[in-house]
């Protein structure tokens, strides 16, 4: 079979499909959204579900795994924070069918509110982690992860980064394994019920598995060591996308150790340390490998000693500088005028935020979505953005301590994702705040995935009006494409209400409308 060009996200999806994956669940988040998108477009008949949030997506996959079905769960790094509760506990209960958790980390925060390294969370959960360095490895590791998951009875994390997720490379497919469509459910309460008496024994069993994880890592073909038999002077240890950058500038005079598995293959690393006089560690994210080596040898260089910066992406130029291969200074940065990102032309969000700005509320708490762009000129309306759903929660805190009528702004998808619990509290305590839900009838920021309010074949629409009506919170729905005077009147009347009040600004995402009509 000839090779085909795939992004890392596409390669993971096809690796899972060819490994006999029986179900895929996800919440969209850049840079991991295209994993589920590829499953959806593959024509493979693998059932796929856009879950209401990452926690639910992971629990869907865990339930399927208990029934002996192979399951793929995908999300971005921040989404793993949302799913940490079931993820951690699932390493105690273990899995039956292979469960692979593909996580897209976002170094340099191209579309995220923080940088974090999911390798650390995998090790914190005491499970196995794989990190591909190109699309071919993304495909192979996705397949291998299912086998590892079933042999270890643990979920396996596949750590991706933005450049791997979106970068394309040739991929050679392997023979497909047909999915096991026979559901086998054999409840095991001593494993699956983590009451304290069971969990204590499960934790002991999990700790006893760590030696097996270490042994698998030592023997994994995803770790490769190349020793320069002519010179022991310098060695390079690299992982993931940083390995590709190191290979790009590798002069052949240095020994090279590629790391692709966690826990780290410490015996192999020990041999490498003993052989080389000086070590440079090149890794994307936190200095996880480097910290492990720094305890063993003082000759290790990387992020801890300032050879590389602790923040942002590990770029090819940074690696080259670290390898002392850039003999000339880097070119001076060109001083260009700053251009702020903004809404699509004609987007209804702009009209809603302009009206909100004219309202003059003391503080506007934003959320995660396209509407985050309202923090920039000319609107400059949003005062806080922390995480999914925090807009309502933080507005509650401000109201509790006496701030007059704070405002919370979030999208329809974000409301279903993480806005429901703080909304319950707002209604329960009758907090005096205005909540603006921007409903564009899709999850626009990550590519137009459906929300629970979307209708379709085999699914039922869950309308915002029904949900808010169930809460008993007063609300008003309006179309933002109306004269400014009318919008101002709508916002003033809502702001004058006592207790929680919801405005729903409803207008279809223009980008999705164009795509649908094309």
Please, what are the domains in the chain? Answer: 4-219 (3.40.50.970), 224-322 (3.40.50.920), 348-517 (3.40.50.970)
Residue 188 has a pLDDT of 84
Give the orientation angle of helix 420-428 with respect to helix 464-471, to 10 degrees. 30
Residue 361 pLDDT > 90? no
| Percentage with pLDDT > 70 across the chain | 96
Q: What is the pLDDT of residues 365-377, one digit of tens each?
A: 888 888 888 788 8
pLDDT digit string, tens, across residues 245-272: 888 877 777 899 999 999 999 999 999 9
Q: Mean pLDDT across the chain, nearest whole number? A: 88
Highest mean predicted confidence (pLDDT) among 192-196, 326-330, 339-343, 513-517: 192-196
294-335: pLDDT as tens digits: 777 768 888 888 888 888 888 888 888 877 743 344 555 667
User: DSSP 3-state assignment of 329?
Assistant: coil
Per-residue pLDDT band for 232 (boundaries 50, 70, 90) equals: confident
Give the predicted TM-score (pTM) of the model. Answer: 0.86
> What was the pLDDT predicted at 325?
46
Burial 190-205 (b: 16+ CB within 10 A, else e): ebbeeeeebeeebeee
Q: What pLDDT does 180 receive?
A: 81
According to DSSP H, which parts of 307-389 are helical? 316-322, 348-359
Task: Please count the residues of the chain.
Answer: 518
DSSP 8-state secondary structure symbol assigned to residue 71 = E
147, pLDDT greater than 50:
yes
Give mean pLDDT, residues 7-20.
97
Q: Compare 163 and 338 and report the one with higher pLDDT.
A: 163
Element (H, E) at 187: none
Over residues 195-216, the pLDDT tens digits come to 888 989 999 999 999 999 999 9
Most confident region among 206-220, 379-393, 467-481 by mean pLDDT? 206-220
Give the model's pLDDT for residue 326: 35
Q: What is the mean pLDDT of residues 421-427?
A: 91
């Amino acid at each position: 079979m000839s090779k085909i060009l795939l992004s890392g996200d596409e390669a993971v999806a096809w690796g899972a499909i060819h490994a006999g994956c029986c179900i895929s669940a996800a919440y969209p988040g850049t840079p991991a959204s295209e994993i589920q998108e590829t499953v959806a477009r593959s024509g493979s008949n693998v059932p796929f579900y856009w879950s209401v949030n990452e926690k639910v997506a992971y629990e869907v996959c865990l339930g399927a795994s208990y029934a002996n079905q192979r399951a793929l769960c995908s999300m971005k790094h921040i989404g793993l924070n949302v799913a940490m509760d079931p993820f951690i506990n699932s390493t105690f209960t273990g899995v039956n069918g292979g469960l692979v958790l593909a996580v897209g980390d976002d170094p340099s925060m191209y579309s995220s509110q923080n940088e974090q390294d999911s390798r650390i969370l995998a090790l914190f959960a005491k499970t196995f982690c794989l990190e591909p360095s190109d699309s071919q490895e993304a495909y192979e590791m996705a397949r291998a992860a299912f086998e590892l998951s079933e042999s270890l009875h643990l979920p396996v994390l596949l750590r991706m980064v933005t450049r791997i997720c979106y970068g394309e490379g040739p991929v050679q497919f392997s023979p497909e394994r047909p999915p096991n469509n026979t559901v086998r459910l054999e409840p095991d309460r001593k494993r699956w019920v983590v009451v304290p008496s069971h969990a204590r024994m499960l934790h002991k069993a999990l700790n006893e598995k760590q030696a097996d994880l270490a042994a698998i890592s030592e023997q994994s073909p995803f770790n490769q060591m190349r020793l320069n038999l002519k010179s022991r002077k310098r060695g390079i240890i690299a992982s993931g996308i940083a390995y590709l950058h190191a290979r790009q500038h590798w002069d052949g005079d240095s020994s090279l150790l590629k790391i692709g598995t966690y826990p780290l293959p410490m015996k192999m690393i020990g041999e490498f340390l003993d052989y080389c006089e000086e070590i440079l560690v090149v890794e994307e994210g936190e200095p996880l490998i480097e910290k492990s080596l720094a305890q063993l040898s003082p000759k290790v260089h990387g992020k801890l000693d300032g050879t590389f910066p602790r923040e942002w992406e590990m770029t090819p130029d940074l690696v080259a500088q670290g390898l002392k291969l850039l003999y000339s200074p880097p070119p001076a940065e060109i001083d260009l005028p700053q251009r702020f990102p903004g809404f699509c032309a004609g987007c209804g969000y702009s009209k809603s935020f302009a009206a909100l700005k004219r309202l003059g509320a003391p503080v506007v708490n934003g959320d995660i979505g396209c509407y985050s762009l309202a923090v920039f000129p000319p609107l400059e309306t949003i005062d806080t953005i922390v995480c999914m759903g925090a807009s309502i929660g933080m507005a509650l805190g401000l109201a509790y301590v006496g701030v007059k009528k704070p405002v919370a702004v979030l999208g329809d998808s974000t409301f279903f994702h993480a806005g429901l619990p703080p909304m319950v509290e707002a209604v329960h305590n009758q907090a005096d705040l205005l909540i603006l839900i921007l409903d564009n009838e899709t999850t626009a920021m990550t590519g137009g995935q459906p929300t629970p309010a979307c209708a379709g074949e085999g699914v039922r629409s869950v309308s915002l009006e029904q949900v808010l009506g169930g809460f008993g919170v007063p609300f008003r729905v309006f179309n933002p494409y109306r004269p400014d005077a009318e919008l101002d009147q709508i916002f003033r009347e809502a702001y004058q209400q006592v207790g929680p009040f919801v405005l729903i600004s409803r207008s279809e995402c223009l980008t999705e409308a164009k795509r649908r009509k094309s």
